[in-house]
């Protein structure tokens, strides 16, 4: 009803503008902007009279330029998003490149991000619902919480889309992972890179934080995981840029990144605790963090055909644990270092698995078996046979061959 009332108010103002000869006669957006401006001018503001308002605007307007508006926008994004989320209004769009656009400084969730989020949501339901005493095969259990879970994961994937574009742009830049400046200034890449980077400079999770807060779902741990998600993307850009430029990378950064990578699963899990009004189970969180680590390694190891480490991560310059270890230790040593990481994690996994409730532990084992079968005998962990594939030692030649 509130939305309908606002629409009626806008239509009345547009009709008034037409009758008063105030219509721009250019396009609907221009007329709507002028209508909103008149609404703003008509609103009471302390003791200001209509005459005083007109005087202020006429004297102040010449000082406003496009750069001033852009600077003001960056400083008002949080406020705008807060008001937007409080009204439960979220903007969705699909652009021609399936990438995120910013309009008025606001991130939009695109169809591509929603489609990419689906596989994560399916896996989350099948692998995490059991820790909440919920049945992933029961539609009521899924759809009860789906709006918040789906929107949150789609929002994260939308930002991930932006990060992936930045990765590709920074690969062509000599300026660094966060300064995609030198990329063929004539084709617009410079402007695009700067525009995309602004997303991460201006509190990228702000709108999501305000929405969760408005619905009483935001807790400090969710805020922390969102911050760690931003840290992961920063690390990914740093590591991948260094790798493609054949610069040194540190094992500390690599291990930090791989442990942060599943931040979206942890956010969904914490969100589900909040949606159900339950306290967070620390044992479950600890167990799942080890499981997430092993799953991330498994996902990075093979391509769709199971022939080599994920070739698309090399071509697209994405984070991949085996590719990073090759960068740190070299092609001959990296596989053994990864085997060591897997062994240590599996030992910890088994210890924590045995601490779980027997029924839950049994369900976890069954889920691992299912995931292993679905992923092929070269995938999975705990019940899968780990097989570290041949590494891609010369990435530059490999990319040239694939892209050629």
pLDDT at 53: 86
As for how many domains the chain has, the answer is: 3
Residue with tokens 């996994």: 349
Is the same domain home to 104 and 154? Answer: yes
CB neighbours of residue 155 within 10 Å: 23
Is the same domain home to 252 and 386? Answer: no
Is the same domain home to 57 and 82? Answer: no
Angle value at C-alpha 218, between 77 and 103, nearest 5 degrees: 25
Is the same domain home to 248 and 322? Answer: no
Is the same domain home to 132 and 57? Answer: no
pLDDT at 16: 82
pLDDT at 4: 54
Cα–Cα separations (whole angstroms), residue 335 to 89, 367, 381, 397, 400: 49, 27, 16, 21, 24
Question: Is 320 within 8 Å of 309 (Cβ atoms)?
Answer: yes
Q: What is this structure's pTM?
A: 0.71
Final residue in a domain of this structure, among 63, 78, 99: 63
pLDDT at 304: 44
Select the more confidently predicted residue: 268 or 165.
Answer: 268
109 forms beta bridges with: 92
pLDDT at 98: 35
Is the same domain home to 194 and 219? Answer: yes
Label residue 97 by pLDDT band (50, 70, 90).
very low
pLDDT at 103: 41
pLDDT at 39: 80
Give CA–CA dist 330/26, Å, rounded.
62
Which whole number is the average pLDDT over 371-390? 64
Final residue in a domain of this structure, among 14, 37, 63: 63
Which whole number is the average pLDDT over 290-317? 78
Select the more confidently predicted residue: 49 or 348.
Answer: 348
Question: Is 382 within 8 Å of 365 (Cβ atoms)?
Answer: yes
Q: What is the token pair recorded at 33?
A: 């902007």
Cα–Cα separations (whole angstroms), residue 163 to 51, 61, 199, 328: 49, 37, 9, 23
Select the more confidently predicted residue: 235 or 190.
Answer: 235
Lowest mean pLDDT among 66-80, 244-258, 282-296, 309-323: 66-80
Final residue in a domain of this structure, among 31, 63, 95: 63
Write the DSSP symbol of residue 132. Answer: G
Is the same domain home to 203 and 138? Answer: yes
What are the tens digits of pLDDT across the range 219-276? 999 999 999 999 999 999 999 999 999 999 999 999 999 999 999 999 999 999 999 9
pLDDT at 154: 96
Which whole number is the average pLDDT over 192-199? 62
In whole numbers, what is the pLDDT of the chain averaged over residues? Answer: 81
Question: What are phi and psi for residue 146, nearest 5 degrees?
Answer: -60, -40
Say whether pLDDT at 183 is over 50.
Answer: no
Is the same domain home to 42 and 57? Answer: yes
Best mean pLDDT range from 9-13, 117-121, 159-163:
117-121
Label residue 33 by pLDDT band (50, 70, 90).
confident
pLDDT at 378: 39
Is the same domain home to 88 and 7? Answer: no
Which whole number is the average pLDDT over 7-34? 77
Q: Which domain holds residue 336?
A: 283-295+302-404
pLDDT at 79: 42
Select the more confidently predicted residue: 1 or 394.
Answer: 394
Is the same domain home to 97 and 142? Answer: yes
Is the same domain home to 288 and 385? Answer: yes
Give CA–CA dist 64/196, Å, rounded.
25
Select the more confidently predicted residue: 4 or 84.
Answer: 4
CA atoms within 13 A on the CB side of 158: 26
Among candidates 283, 280, 262, which has minimal Cα distance to 271?
Answer: 280
Question: Is 161 within 8 Å of 113 (Cβ atoms)?
Answer: yes
Cβ neighbourhood burial of 296 (10 Å; 0-12, 13-18, 19+): buried
pLDDT at 84: 41
Best mean pLDDT range from 7-21, 170-184, 187-201:
7-21
Say whether pLDDT at 105 is over 70.
Answer: no
- Spatial neighbors of 5 by CB under 8 A, at least 6 apart, are none
Is the same domain home to 165 and 184? Answer: yes
Which whole number is the average pLDDT over 340-356? 96
């Amino acid at each position: 009803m509130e939305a309908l009332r606002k629409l009626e108010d806008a239509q009345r103002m547009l009709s008034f503008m037409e009758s008063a000869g105030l219509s721009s006669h250019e396009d609907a957006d221009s007329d709507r902007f002028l209508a909103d401006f008149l609404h703003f001018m008509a609103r009471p503001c302390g003791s200001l009279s209509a005459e005083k308002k007109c005087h202020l605007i006429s004297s102040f307007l010449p000082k406003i330029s496009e750069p001033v508006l852009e600077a003001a926008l960056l400083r008002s994004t949080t406020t705008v998003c807060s008001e937007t989320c409080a009204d439960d209004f979220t903007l969705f769009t699909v652009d021609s490149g399936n990438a995120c656009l910013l309009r008025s400084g606001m991130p939009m969730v695109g169809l591509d991000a929603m489609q990419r989020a689906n596989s994560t949501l399916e896996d989350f339901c099948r692998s995490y619902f059991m820790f909440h005493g919920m049945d992933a095969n029961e539609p009521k259990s899924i759809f009860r919480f789906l709006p918040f879970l789906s929107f949150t994961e789609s929002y994260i994937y939308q930002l991930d889309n932006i990060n992936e574009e930045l990765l590709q742009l920074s690969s062509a830049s000599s300026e660094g992972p966060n300064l995609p400046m030198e990329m063929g200034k004539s084709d617009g890449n410079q402007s695009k890179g700067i525009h995309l980077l602004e997303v991460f400079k201006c509190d990228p999770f702000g709108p999501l934080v305000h929405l969760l807060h408005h619905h009483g779902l935001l807790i400090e741990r969710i805020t922390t995981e969102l911050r760690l998600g931003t840290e992961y993307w920063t690390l990914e850009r740093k590591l991948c840029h260094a790798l493609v430029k054949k610069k040194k990378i540190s094992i500390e950064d690599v291990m930090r990144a791989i442990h942060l990578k599943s931040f979206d699963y942890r956010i969904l899990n914490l969100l589900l605790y909040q949606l159900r009004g339950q306290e967070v189970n620390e044992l479950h969180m600890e167990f799942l963090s080890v499981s997430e680590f092993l799953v991330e390694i498994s996902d990075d190891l093979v391509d769709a055909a199971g022939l080599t480490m994920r070739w698309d991560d090399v071509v697209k310059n994405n984070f991949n644990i085996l590719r990073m270890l090759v960068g740190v230790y070299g092609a001959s040593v990296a596989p053994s270092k990864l085997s060591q990481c897997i062994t240590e994690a599996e030992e910890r996994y088994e210890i924590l698995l045995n601490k779980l409730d027997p029924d839950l532990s049994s369900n976890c084992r069954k889920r691992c078996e299912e995931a292993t079968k679905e992923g092929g005998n070269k995938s999975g962990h705990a019940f899968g046979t780990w097989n570290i594939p041949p590494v891609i030692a010369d990435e530059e030649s490999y990319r040239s061959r694939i892209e050629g």
